Amino acid sequence: MKRLIIIILAIFTCIQCSAQNQDADALFQKANDAYIAKDYKLAADLYEQILAQDLTAPELYYNLGNAYYKQNKYTLAILNYERALKLDDEFEDAKNNLKLVNLSLEDNLKDIPSTNFAAITEMIGKGVGLSGWAVFSLVFLGVGLGLFLLYFFSDRLNLRKLAFSFGFVFIVL
């Protein structure tokens, strides 16, 4: 009796797996047809349905990445190209498309204009150099310490207030 139950369960499992594979193949074909018809959203949804059945293949992730790329969803495209490469690290088409998406993202970042403040600070930073900044900081430290000495040894109240305030500013800078 136990053998009969095991055999019946094995047969039903095989039938289930066969039906699931046929369903996945049909979905994959529908997704490819939708991609060819330039219905990229439907294609991506169908590829996602296949993945929801716990079926994975590098070509599936690659096609899903292509569908997301065509929808300008670059982050999802990168994610799926990387998943395809994780399954098959020699998948040249996925490597090339991943490079293409990354280049298009880098181009978008280079087009961002810089602000006036950023341009001024960059010009000052590059123009002065490291030794110039060292001299600059030592001069400000010396002036600040001199003003603090003036604060400690001065008898006039107004001069002490000014020396303390400016001394603090010079040391902080």
Give rounded-to-5 percent helix, strand, coil for the chain. 85, 0, 15
Predicted model pTM: 0.53
At residue 13 the predicted structure's pLDDT band, cuts being 50, 70 and 90, is low
* pLDDT, tens digit (0-9, with 9 covering 90-100), for 79-116: 999 999 998 888 898 899 889 888 877 766 555 666 77
* pLDDT for residue 146: 86
Cβ atoms of 163 and 147 closer than 8 Å: yes
* pLDDT, tens digit (0-9, with 9 covering 90-100), for 30-88: 988 988 998 989 989 988 998 888 888 888 899 999 999 999 899 899 999 999 999 88
At residue 135 the predicted structure's pLDDT band, cuts being 50, 70 and 90, is confident
What structural domains and CATH numbers belong to the chain? Answer: 12-108 (1.25.40.10), 129-172 (no CATH)
Cβ atoms of 59 and 81 closer than 8 Å: no
* pLDDT for residue 122: 76
Cβ atoms of 118 and 142 closer than 8 Å: no
